[in-house]
Amino acid sequence: MFAPFKEYLEEELFKHFDLRSRSIPVGLESNVSERGKNRATIQSWCYQCPQFRKIRYSYIDAGETAQVFNSVIYPAHHYDIPLLGVDFLSFGKKKILVVMDFQPLFRDRTYTDKYIEPMRKIRDKYNELAQNLEMKFYDANQYFSKYLLFAKTDSETVVNRLFPAYQEYLSLYWQMLADAEPLTEPEAIQRIVTAQKEYDQYSAERDPAHGLFSSYFGAEWSEKFLYEFLFEDASPLAVSSARK
């Protein structure tokens, strides 16, 4: 379902950037679940380049039961631009949920004008993908922008509307990076280090995927995947005790 999105991201990344592989902890690169009657696989890829310190994406293929494409791009710490977040999910072909955003590190007016307002033009073209749905797991005011794509949709819209919207957002993101002024002050860079780390902590604690991963691959693998790969700068202490 979302394979063309993954392939497009790969082509774009290799076209624009000098990518190096970034290691994924042993055992977390892929997994296969034989639980239940449906076979499920998850596979992940991770790269870095001078502009992006971590580019990760994962694909869950459980046939008709579930297809998920999830990705986060973390800019190098000397760029204050938002993170690029993608979460496309399809369950039983009927329930399709798509989320894509430039995930802001800060919420002040200067930041928003610079990095979020440019998304507006694209968002306005794809109104049917911006449904203002209520968030149950996350807080829409933390690390989400007001021009995110967030929709419950169908497979036809995925092909005809989401794909072009995705291409436009990606293209804007590369442009935003190209126009961004690298930070040079150690304090300014440290502020990004902290903000990106807080993003990982917040995301690891809220991630609604924990249940999905656990059901396929077990709780132990899920916890490792979340804290050692997806959001590796988060510390698991607070949460694992909360979950027990």
Q: Which amino acid is at 182?
A: P
- Residue 189's φ and ψ, nearest 5 degrees, are -70, -40
Instruction: Report the residue number, 89 or 176, with the smaller CB distance to ligand BLA.
Output: 89
Stretch that binds ligand BLA, among 24-32, 130-138, 177-185, 190-198 (CB under 6 A): 130-138
Stretch that binds ligand BLA, among 6-14, 169-177, 185-193, 202-210 (CB under 6 A): 202-210
Instruction: Report the residue number, 94 or 136, with the smaller CB distance to ligand BLA.
Output: 136
Distance CA 41, CA 33 (A): 6
Out of 55, 100, 151, 170, point to the residue binding ligand BLA (CB under 6 A).
100
Distance of alpha carbon 185 from its chain centroid, rounded? 28
Residue 225 CB contacts under 8 Å (≥ 6 apart), including other chains: 28, 213, 217
Identify whether the C-beta of residue 231 lies closer than 8 Å to the C-beta of residue 206.
Answer: no
Residue 110 in 3-state DSSP?
A: helix
Run of H or E including 13 = helix 3-16
Report the nearest approach of ligand BLA to the CB of residue 100 (Å).
Answer: 6
Q: Strands (DSSP E) along the chain, which ranges? A: 20-21, 30-33, 40-48, 52-61, 66-75, 83-91, 95-103, 149-153
How many residues form the binding site for ligand BLA (CB under 6 A)? 23
Residues 140-179 that bind ligand BLA (CB under 6 A): 150
Report the nearest approach of ligand BLA to the CB of residue 175 (Å).
Answer: 19
**Site mask, ligand BLA, residues 58-97, x = CB under 6 A?**
x-x-------x-x-x------------xxx-x-------x
Judged by CB under 6 A, does residue 223 bind ligand BLA?
no
Q: For binding to ligand BLA (CB under 6 A), which residues are involved?
A: 58, 60, 68, 70, 72, 85-87, 89, 97, 99-101, 135-138, 150, 207-209, 212, 230
